[in-house]
């Protein structure tokens, strides 16, 4: 309930800020067009060269503010009312803002310069020089376009690229920001509290591991338990499976069936998808049997789910000391 109230307040605050900013753009646009009209009708007694320059500046500024007003209107009406995924809305906002900046630059060039041929040649030479000087930012911008088209990840996805692991919180034109999980100071998959930023050009050079794939946003996790050779292994298997089933999402069976249906359309054999939770036994290098349970889990809930399963399994096994024996050694 508190989280819902916080979200409502945040939305109200964002709406108020959006209204104030749009109103400011409208006010400035009116001022610019009013100045242009006053200069056109020679209300101010200025020399001709100054009038021409001021007319161009006022007209260009007014048109720029009109573009900003339209972009804000589109963001509010189209994106705000869209029923598409939040990540798609986020990308659409970025595209709208980029188009607004491009249009403003075109207006500035067309208003300030009359000879388009000279401008085109000058821009060509400048672009050539800037291209050599800003190769990395340009590659990152291309990487952003690649992310929009190929969507290796969205905002909110949990990904890993090279040594960077985290939840995507922002995809800007030049870089991506992650909320790191794990890291140097943690051995689990909990948030570390650190932000990671890497250039978008990295997606063109490295493999991206996405733990939040839209068609199957889950992963398989496993927990090993150690028991002695003298234990009732069938009983141990039953306890471990039941305890795991009680702690995982009851809809996981449906998720696995959906995955099997999807895999039927690919060259991958369905036999690779087992029924989960799956309990397997293997001999440890020391003197005990290792009982490994594999189950399906939301990657962002993996640590919490693993902790609950471990507590429940150990508590259940300790209640049957005659049927379950644990290794008695300092090496375990």
Q: 323 lies in a domain?
A: no
299 and 205, same domain (yes or no): no
Q: How many CB atoms sit inside 10 A of residue 87's CB? A: 18
Question: Residues 78, 175: one domain?
Answer: no
- Same domain as 98, residue 12: yes
Q: Is residue 202 part of a domain?
A: yes
* Token code pair at residue 83: 């029923």
Domain count, the chain: 3
Question: For residues 249 and 268, is the Cβ–Cβ distance under 8 A?
Answer: no
Are 205 and 223 in the same domain? no
235 shares its domain with 305: yes
Which pLDDT does position 71 carry in this prediction? 83
Q: Is residue 194 part of a domain?
A: yes
Together in a domain, 199 and 299: no
Indicate if 185 and 203 belong to the same structural domain.
yes
Nearest to 229 by CA among 325, 124, 319: 325
In-domain check, residue 282:
yes
Q: Per the domain annotation, does 26 fall within a domain?
A: yes
**Confidence (pLDDT) at 121:** 55
Domain that holds residue 243: 219-318
If asked whether residues 12 and 99 sit together in one domain, one would say yes
Please report which residue ranges of the chain form alpha helices under DSSP H: 2-40, 48-74, 80-81, 86-112, 116-133, 135-150, 233-247, 252-263, 302-318
Which of 214, 213, 220 is CA-nearest to residue 274?
A: 220
Same domain membership, residue 77 and residue 164? no
Joined tokens for residue 242: 């039941």
- Confidence at residue 3, expressed as pLDDT on a 0 to 100 scale: 41
* 41-49 own/partner pairs: CB under 8 Å, 24+ apart: none
List the chain residues with pLDDT less than 50.
Answer: 1-3, 330-331
CATH, residue 271? 3.30.70.100
Quote the CA–CA distance of 40 and 154 in Å, as a whole number. 49
Quote the distance between the C-alpha of residue 110 and its chain's center: 37
Q: Biggest alpha carbon distance in the chain?
A: 105
Is 188 within 8 Å of 272 (Cβ atoms)? no
Tell me, what CATH number does 191's domain have?
2.30.30.60
Kindly state whether residue 144 falls inside one of the protein's structural domains.
no
DSSP secondary structure of 237-288: HHHHHHHHHHHS-TTHHHHHHHHHHHHTTSSS-GGG---SSEEEEEE-SSSS
d(CA 291, CA 282): 7
Q: In what order do the strands lie in the sheet with 219-227?
A: 219-227, 289-297, 278-283
pLDDT value, residue 1: 44
If asked whether residues 302 and 255 sit together in one domain, one would say yes
Domain final residue, candidates 210, 241, 260: 210
Q: Which of 210, 235, 258 is the last residue of a domain?
A: 210
Q: Are residues 226 and 199 in the same domain?
A: no
Q: Which of 171, 192, 210 is the last residue of a domain?
A: 210
- The reported pLDDT for the residue numbered 55 is 77
The helix (H) or strand (E) run that includes residue 170 is strand 164-171
- Identify whether 8 is part of a domain: yes
Tell me, yes or no, whether 176 lies in a domain. Answer: yes
25-65 pLDDT per residue, tens:
888 888 888 888 877 766 666 555 667 777 778 888 888 88
* 187 plus 223 within the same structural domain: no
pLDDT value of residue 269: 56
């Amino acid at each position: 309930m508190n989280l819902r109230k916080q979200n409502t307040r945040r939305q109200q605050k964002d709406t108020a800020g959006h209204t104030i900013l749009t109103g400011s753009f409208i006010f400035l646009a009116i001022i610019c067009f009013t100045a242009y009209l006053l200069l056109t009708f020679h209300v101010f007694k200025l020399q001709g060269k100054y009038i021409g320059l001021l007319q161009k500046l006022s007209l260009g500024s007014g048109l720029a503010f009109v573009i900003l007003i339209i972009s804000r209107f589109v963001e509010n009406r189209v994106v705000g009312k869209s029923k598409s995924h939040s990540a798609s809305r986020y990308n659409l906002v970025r595209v709208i803002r980029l188009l607004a900046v491009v249009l403003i630059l075109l207006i500035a060039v067309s208003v300030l310069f009359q000879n388009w041929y000279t401008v085109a040649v000058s821009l060509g030479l400048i672009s050539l020089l800037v291209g050599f000087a800003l190769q990395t930012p340009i590659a990152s911008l291309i990487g952003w376009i690649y992310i929009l088209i190929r969507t290796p990840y969205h905002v909110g996805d949990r990904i890993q690229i090279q040594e960077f692991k985290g939840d995507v919180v922002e995809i800007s034109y030049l870089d991506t920001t992650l909320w790191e999980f794990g890291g140097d100071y943690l051995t689990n998959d909990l948030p570390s509290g650190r932000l990671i930023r890497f250039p978008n050009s990295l997606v063109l050079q490295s493999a991206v591991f996405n733990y939040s794939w839209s068609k199957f946003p889950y992963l398989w996790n496993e927990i090993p338990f150690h028991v002695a050779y003298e234990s009732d292994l069938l009983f141990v298997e039953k306890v471990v499976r039941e305890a795991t089933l009680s702690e995982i999402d009851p809809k996981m069976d449906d998720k696995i069936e959906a995955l099997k249906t999807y895999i039927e359309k690919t060259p991958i054999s369905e036999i690779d998808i087992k029924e989960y939770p799956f309990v397997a036994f293997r001999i440890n290098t020391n003197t005990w049997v290792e009982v490994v349970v594999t189950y399906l889990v939301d990657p962002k809930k993996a640590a919490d789910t693993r902790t609950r399963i471990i507590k429940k399994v150990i508590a259940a096994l300790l209640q049957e000391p005659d049927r379950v024996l644990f290794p008695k050694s300092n090496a375990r």
